[in-house]
């Protein structure tokens, strides 16, 4: 009887070890929806290379990344997603562009980690993992509180993401006096900035004060008049800081218009959104200091250097994000006892990646960002 029991136990243990070996050999399949052909193919290829770097870092042969081509088209994206669904894939990183999400609500059993930074999800099975406006405004809000700035205005260009900015202002509960919408047309921009800054009134104040002094009997009026003539305006504005939701040349047009209206970054805080350490900003000494929220600069530089070492080219910004998402998904699957399902995103979780800290809450991903200052030909970290 004892021999029979030993044989049964031995068979049971052998069975358990066999099951464990099968489980260990099972692939953790993660789908990847990116543009591999067409005008955006370079973006897709760069993302694939960055996911390859991430897999090498994790060093677990059970992880398998299966890419499919979206062709930057909603219909092609759905078709490619259905192909991945047939392979029993439950988590897909991508697609890249917001407009390619519109049909993916059909695939309710799959969770999509889209690389877009938009907050307007098309479906509960889509998590927008890009660095959204709310994450950025949460960081700016922290800076305003740190500096005790209570008179902030917002400048938003009249383009496609203006509604996204409005939603982010509401979601972050950032305190602002007013959100001004401006035209990006250079022929209209300066006139709009003049109105926002009360430029005509302040310029007239200066003329009036010079006239008043000229008619007065003040002993030192000549010296005062000479000093005033070196100024462009007289009188203050109603804000102590401003947030410009713009980028590239359009951002520079706004800051140039502000300088023209005698609003200096030396006296008022100029703050903008994530600039990805655009080196052209270093050359704009007249609009410094300039502040913005961003990913961790050192980590970004380290990743770029490693990417270049491996592929002899520099990555795009989405590559950096996709690198972190591979690590995030792998970490969450391990936390879920290696079970791959949508539940892994339902719990509030903090994950530290290359970009910084991801916060997963209510089926959404937000980024806890750093804050930087552009001044004296350098990007300096504030916090």
Please classify residue 157 by burial: count the beta carbons closer than 10 Å to its beta carbon, then call 0-12 exposed, 13-18 middle and 19+ buried.
buried
SS3 302: helix
Cβ-Cβ contacts under 8 Å for 186 (sequence gap 6 or more): 253
Structure letter (DSSP) for residue 224? H
Written as six digits, the tokens of 317 are 């910004």
Structure letter (DSSP) for residue 316? P
Please classify residue 278 by burial: count the beta carbons closer than 10 Å to its beta carbon, then call 0-12 exposed, 13-18 middle and 19+ buried.
middle
**Angle of helix 248-260 relative to helix 186-196, nearest 10 degrees?**
50
Instruction: Average pLDDT across each block of 10 residues of the chain; the chain has 383 residues. List them in order.
Output: 40 35 65 97 97 94 95 97 97 95 94 88 86 96 98 96 94 96 94 97 96 93 94 96 97 97 97 96 96 96 96 95 94 86 81 84 83 96 97
Q: State pTM to two decimals.
A: 0.88
Written as six digits, the tokens of 314 are 């520099």
Rounded-to-5 percentages of helix, strand, coil across the chain: 50, 20, 35
H helix runs in 59-198, sequence order: 74-86, 133-146, 162-172, 186-196
**What local confidence, expressed as pLDDT, does residue 362 receive?**
67
Determine which helix (DSSP H) or strand (DSSP E) holds 272, and give its type and residue range.
strand 269-272
**What local confidence, expressed as pLDDT, does residue 27 receive?**
82
Average pLDDT for the chain: 90
What backbone phi and psi angles, to 5 degrees, belong to 271?
A: -125, 140
How many CB atoms within 10 Å of residue 39?
Answer: 9
Query: CA geometry: angle at 58 spanning 53 and 59, to 5°?
Result: 95
SS3 215: helix
**What local confidence, expressed as pLDDT, does residue 2 receive?**
43
Written as six digits, the tokens of 211 are 């006239």
End-to-end CA gap in the chain? 71
């Amino acid at each position: 009887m004892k021999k029979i029991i030993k044989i049964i136990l031995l068979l049971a243990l052998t069975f358990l070890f066999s099951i464990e070996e099968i489980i260990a050999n099972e692939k953790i399949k993660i789908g990847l929806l990116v543009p591999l052909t067409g005008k955006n193919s370079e973006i897709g290829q760069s993302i694939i290379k960055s996911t390859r770097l991430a897999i090498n870092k994790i060093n677990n042969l059970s992880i398998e990344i299966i890419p499919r081509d979206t062709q930057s088209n909603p219909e092609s994206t759905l078709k490619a997603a259905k192909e991945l669904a047939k392979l029993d894939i439950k988590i897909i990183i991508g697609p890249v562009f917001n407009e390619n999400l519109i049909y993916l609500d059909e695939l309710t059993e799959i969770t999509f980690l889209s690389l877009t930074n938009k907050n307007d999800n098309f479906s509960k099975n889509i998590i927008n993992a890009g660095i959204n406006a709310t994450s950025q405004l949460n960081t700016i809000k922290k800076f305003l509180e740190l500096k005790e700035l209570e008179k902030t205005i917002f400048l938003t260009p009249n383009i496609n993401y203006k509604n996204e900015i409005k939603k982010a202002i509401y979601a972050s509960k950032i305190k602002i006096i007013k959100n001004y919408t401006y035209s990006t047309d250079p022929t209209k921009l300066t006139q709009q900035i003049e109105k926002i800054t009360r430029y005509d009134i302040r310029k007239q104040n200066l003329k009036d004060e010079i006239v008043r002094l000229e008619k007065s009997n003040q002993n030192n009026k000549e010296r005062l008049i000479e000093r005033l003539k070196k100024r462009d305006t007289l009188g203050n504005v109603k804000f102590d800081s401003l947030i410009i939701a713009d980028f590239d040349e359009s951002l520079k047009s706004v800051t140039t218009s502000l300088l023209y209206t005698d609003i200096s970054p030396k006296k008022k805080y100029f703050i903008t959104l994530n600039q990805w350490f655009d080196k052209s900003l270093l050359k704009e000494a007249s609009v410094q200091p300039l502040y913005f929220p961003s990913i961790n600069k050192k980590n970004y530089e380290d990743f770029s250097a490693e990417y270049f070492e491996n592929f002899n080219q520099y990555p795009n910004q989405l590559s950096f994000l996709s690198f972190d998402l591979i690590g995030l998904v792998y970490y969450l699957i391990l936390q879920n006892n290696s079970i791959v399902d949508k539940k892994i995103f339902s719990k509030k979780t903090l994950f530290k990646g290359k970009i910084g800290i991801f916060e997963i809450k209510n089926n959404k991903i937000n980024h806890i960002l750093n804050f930087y200052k552009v001044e004296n030909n350098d990007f300096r970290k504030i916090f």
